[in-house]
Amino acid sequence: MKKTIQLETIDPIEIYGAGNKILSEFCTYFPHLKVVARGNELILDGGESDISEFQIRLGELIERRRHKMNLTIYDVEDIFDGESSADKFRLSGDAIIVHGTDGKPIRARNRTQQELVKAYFDNDLVFAVGPAGTGKTYIAIALAVRALKNREVRRIILTRPAVEAGERLGFLPGDLKDKLDPYLQPLYDALEDMIPSRKLQEFMSDGTIQIAPLAYMRGRTLDRACVILDEAQNTNLGQLKMFLTRMGASAKFIVTGDATQIDLPRRSDSGLLAGIHLLKDLKGVATITFTSDDIVRHPLVTKIVRAFDGLAENSMISEP
């Protein structure tokens, strides 16, 4: 019996490997099946059951590639040793995401963080919105670091809008990098919790990890990357569109923000909630909403947030 399989949705080299190394390893599990690769076609000649099993396992290999930057012969071994291709890279909500540099496990600490973890694996674009201290950005960065360590992505890109929250960039000392670093420091802090300092410096030197103001994203195509936009409440709708349209192949985008902490001159200019509303019905987009009940910092932070929320609701704080 002969059968021709067309690889139409993926570059064959990503499945065959350099010099057909991965395909050759794959075919060792089918000693009675003749396999010829011609471009994006695989021509099979053998028994019906072998051909059927080959197609099933090949589908698993292709699905595994969608979760990784590239494949190795160990991925082939995993498939035939009974490990699930897709589930191997997914996490249950309360599973360890990564281990910190101090060896402590980093995992979701409440139900909403667990929902964020699940949404990351089910969608290519996730909005995580809610008050300060809920761990939105921290969990997002942990997921990105995990993806990089598992070679699911090629790079991590972290960005924030450089909005002058009551200060002026021009009066800050130093060159442009020195002026912008204070805005980006929270992202550095989270990374330093998860990646040893020397390795982090290597990643940043070679561009594997990039931290930059939002304006630096214009004109780029970000593929095979986990990209996080933090403090998105300080973007207008045009900036948010610019950022989201940077999404390239095999990319994951996470947008975090707190609509109660808008630093723009006019609060109405914030595009975060409007953007979420525009995209809410699109497949592949999810929104996770945090509340003051999800705050994981000092217990006093929860009380502070609720106190300020109460004042705002009673119109005792004038809004710009």
Give, in order, the Cα–Cα distances in Å from 59 to each of 3, 206, 246.
15, 34, 29
Listed residues 33, 48, 80: the one ending a domain:
80
Write down the pLDDT at residue 82: 54
What does the pLDDT average to over 288-304?
A: 86
Q: Which residue in 201, 195, 93 sits closest to 149, CA to CA?
A: 195
On whether the CB atoms of residues 131 and 258 are closer than 8 A, the answer is yes
Give, in order, the Cα–Cα distances in Å from 117 to each of 62, 112, 185.
23, 9, 24
Listed residues 80, 110, 142: the one ending a domain:
80
Listed residues 80, 108, 138: the one ending a domain:
80
Residue 13 has pLDDT above 70, yes or no: yes
Instruction: Return the structure tokens found at 289.
Output: 């909403």
Instruction: Return the structure tokens found at 9.
Output: 């949705």
Residue 320 has pLDDT above 60, yes or no: no
Query: The CATH number of the domain where 178 resides is what?
Result: 3.40.50.300
**pTM for this one?**
0.70
Coil, strand, or helix at residue 176? helix
Q: What angle do CA 158, 162, 168 make, to 5 degrees?
A: 155
Q: Which residue in 227, 254, 262, 237 sits closest to 132, CA to CA?
A: 262
Quote the mean pLDDT of the chain.
85
Lowest mean pLDDT among 73-77, 149-153, 267-271, 281-285: 73-77
- In whole angstroms, give the CA distance from residue 222 to residue 156: 10
DSSP 227: E
Give the whole-number percent of the chain exceeding pLDDT 70: 86
Same-domain status, 248 and 116: yes
Same-domain status, 73 and 106: no
Instruction: Return the structure tokens found at 125.
Output: 């674009």
Q: Which residue in 200, 198, 173 sits closest to 187, CA to CA?
A: 200
Q: Is residue 154 part of a domain?
A: yes
On whether the CB atoms of residues 156 and 209 are closer than 8 A, the answer is yes
Token pair 């010099």 is found at: 19
Q: Is residue 262 part of a domain?
A: yes
- In whole angstroms, give the CA distance from residue 148 to residue 172: 34
Same-domain status, 182 and 36: no
Q: Is residue 318 part of a domain?
A: no
Residue 66 has pLDDT above 80, yes or no: no
Query: The CATH number of the domain where 40 resides is what?
Result: 3.30.1370.10
Number of domains in the chain: 2
Same-domain status, 169 and 301: yes
Write down the pLDDT at residue 185: 85
On whether the CB atoms of residues 228 and 244 are closer than 8 A, the answer is no
What does the pLDDT average to over 287-307?
A: 86
On whether the CB atoms of residues 169 and 215 are closer than 8 A, the answer is no
Query: What are the strands, taking DSSP E only, across the chain?
Result: 2-6, 34-38, 41-45, 96-99, 105-107, 125-129, 155-160, 209-213, 225-229, 252-257, 285-289
Lowest mean pLDDT among 23-27, 129-133, 300-304: 300-304
Residue 99 has pLDDT above 90, yes or no: no
Same-domain status, 111 and 15: no
Domain that holds residue 25: 2-80
Buried b (16+ CB within 10 A) or exposed e, 206-221: eebbbbbbbeebeebe
Distance of CA 215 to the CA centre of its chain: 20
Write down the pLDDT at residue 304: 86
Angle between helix 48-66 and 73-80 (nearest 10): 120
